[in-house]
């Protein structure tokens, strides 16, 4: 007997990496072994020295194929087994380990937009739909586009055992969100990459594509972000560490360092309009959706909890975002 292992990896496409996958047939009971691929076809190698290594790091049931089939998320290594430059997970590992006692947890809100052909799903062939206002968490065929895909994606994530924690329709037609977490830094990012792959794969069967483009419709339409909710054990137990984390994210060159690594086209989304803060001005505040970092109102009432970094783009790399937040905040919390 055999089963199918779908190997997933992150490629080297600039400026935003893409997911790739291919299938390996394994004998019943076998552990997924290391595998290889042609890096010259994924912007990860030159043709004359193209072999790269897929190192399995996270496996889960494959809800697309079902049965005993699995998804296998991989890190990309050189043939000498050192991490490839595109392998941002390898950079997160030592930082997560260094600050492991802090008990960091992340919940990431992944916004995305469905496209049919060249238009967002729900946009008419000519002109534009009614302006924003009724779509967010809406109901009804005049406001909701793609719900059957979204429901299928949610079921697929649950069947895969991913830590998905909710979904909602977003502010622009055809725009949606799912949340992953709270989970540890490596877990939230691994689960997010697999959930993204499942999003593309689920929508594929409906003839629809999904994009993480941060500003998929120009003009007076909300962009797509990946609000990143973060806490350490100390933040979950008291308010002073909440403020320490907010201040640390605003200290010195940190705002620019973070924003530069929070996804492609960040200035196109962090304009100061559409529930964002300008990319070049750091701020934090309670309940403030126009701030870079929001302290949820319940957190201020409870005097403990978590903070929301609203800056990451939908197309951010969660390995990079979680590494920077853990590094910046935990360093400050240790002072
Ligand atoms: P919003 O009101 O900004 O739309 P959501 O409900 O979409 O918020 O997402 C909030 C996220 O915060 C969820 O993914 C949730 O799991 C996560 N979260 C809740 N508590 C914590 C915590 N203590 N630390 C980190 N993340 C948390
Ligand atoms: Mn071949
Ligand atoms: Mn949300
Ligand atoms: Mn949202
Ligand atoms: Mn949010």
Q: How far is CA 124 from the centre of its chain?
A: 29
pLDDT score recorded for residue 88? 98
Cα–Cα distance measured from residue 123 to residue 145, given in angstroms and rounded to the nearest whole number: 9
Cα(320)–Cα(260) distance, integer angstroms: 11
Of ligand 1's atoms, which has the minimum distance to the CA of residue 179? Answer: 14
Ligand 1 pocket list (CB less than 6 A): 105-107, 109, 165-166, 179, 181-182, 227, 229-231, 236, 305-306, 308
pLDDT at residue 2, as a whole number: 97
**Do 188 and 178 contact (CB within 8 A), yes or no?**
no
Q: Which helix (H) or strand (E) holds 10?
A: strand 2-10
Å from CA of 40 to ligand 2 middle: 12
Neighbours of 24 (CB within 10 A): 16
Tell which residue, 52, 44, 49, has the closest CA to residue 11.
44
In testing the pocket of ligand 1, which one of 102, 104, 109, 285 has its CB within 8 Å of the most ligand atoms? 109
Give me the torsion for CA of 193, 197, 200, 201, rounded to 10°: -160
pLDDT the model gives residue 143: 93
Other Cβ atoms closer than 10 A to 276? 20
Per the CB < 8 A criterion, the answer to whether 212 and 315 are in contact is yes
Quote the pLDDT of residue 318.
98
Judge if ipTM > 0.85: yes
Which ligand gives the minimal distance to the CA of 41?
2
Q: Which pLDDT belongs to residue 236? A: 98
Q: Which atom of ligand 1 sits closest to the CA of residue 308? A: 3
Ligand 3 centre from 172 Cα, in Å?
A: 14
pLDDT tens for the chain, 335 residues: list them. 999 999 999 999 999 999 999 999 999 999 999 999 999 999 999 877 899 999 999 999 999 999 999 999 999 999 999 999 999 999 999 999 999 999 999 999 999 999 999 899 999 888 888 888 889 999 999 999 999 999 999 999 999 999 999 999 999 999 999 999 999 999 999 999 999 999 999 999 999 999 999 999 988 888 999 999 999 999 999 999 999 999 999 999 999 999 999 999 999 999 988 888 899 999 999 999 899 999 999 999 999 999 999 999 999 999 999 999 999 999 999 99
C-alpha angle with apex 191: 156 to 144, nearest 5 degrees? 50
- 238 Cα–ligand 1 center, Å: 17
Instruction: Using DSSP bridges, classify how beta strands 293-295 and 284-286 pair: parallel, antiparallel or unpaired.
Output: parallel
């Amino acid at each position: 007997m055999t089963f199918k292992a779908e190997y997933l990896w992150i490629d080297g496409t600039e400026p935003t990496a893409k997911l790739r996958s291919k299938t390996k047939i394994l004998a019943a009971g076998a552990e997924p072994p290391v595998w290889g691929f042609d890096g010259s076809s994924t912007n990860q190698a030159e043709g004359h020295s193209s072999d790269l290594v897929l190192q399995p790091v996270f496996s889960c049931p494959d809800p697309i194929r079902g049965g005993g089939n699995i998804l296998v998320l991989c890190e990309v290594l050189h043939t000498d087994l050192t991490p490839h430059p595109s392998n941002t997970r390898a950079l997160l590992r030592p930082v997560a380990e260094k600050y492991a006692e802090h008990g960091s947890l992340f919940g990431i809100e992944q916004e995305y937009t469905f496209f049919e052909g060249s238009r967002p799903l729900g946009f008419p062939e000519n002109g534009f739909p009614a302006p924003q206002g009724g779509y967010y968490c809406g109901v009804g065929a005049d406001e909701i586009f793609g719900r059957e895909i979204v429901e299928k994606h949610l079921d697929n994530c649950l069947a895969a055992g991913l830590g998905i924690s909710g979904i909602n329709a977003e502010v622009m037609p055809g725009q949606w969100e799912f949340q992953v977490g709270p989970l540890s830094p490596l877990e939230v990012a691994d689960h997010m990459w697999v959930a993204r792959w499942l999003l593309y794969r689920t929508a594929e069967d409906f003839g629809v594509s999904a994009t993480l483009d941060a500003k998929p419709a120009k003009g007076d339409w909300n962009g797509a972000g990946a609000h990143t909710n973060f806490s350490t054990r100390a933040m979950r137990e008291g308010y002073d560490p909440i403020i320490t984390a907010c201040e640390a994210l605003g200290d010195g060159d940190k705002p620019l360092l973070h924003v530069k690594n929070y996804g492609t086209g960040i200035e196109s989304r962090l304009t100061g309009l559409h529930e964002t803060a300008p990319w070049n001005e750091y701020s934090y505040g309670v309940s403030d959706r126009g701030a870079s970092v929001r302290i949820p109102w319940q957190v201020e009432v409870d005097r403990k909890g978590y903070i929301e970094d609203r800056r990451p783009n939908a197309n951010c790399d969660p390995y990079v975002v979680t590494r920077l937040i853990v590094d910046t905040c935990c360093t400050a919390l240790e002072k």
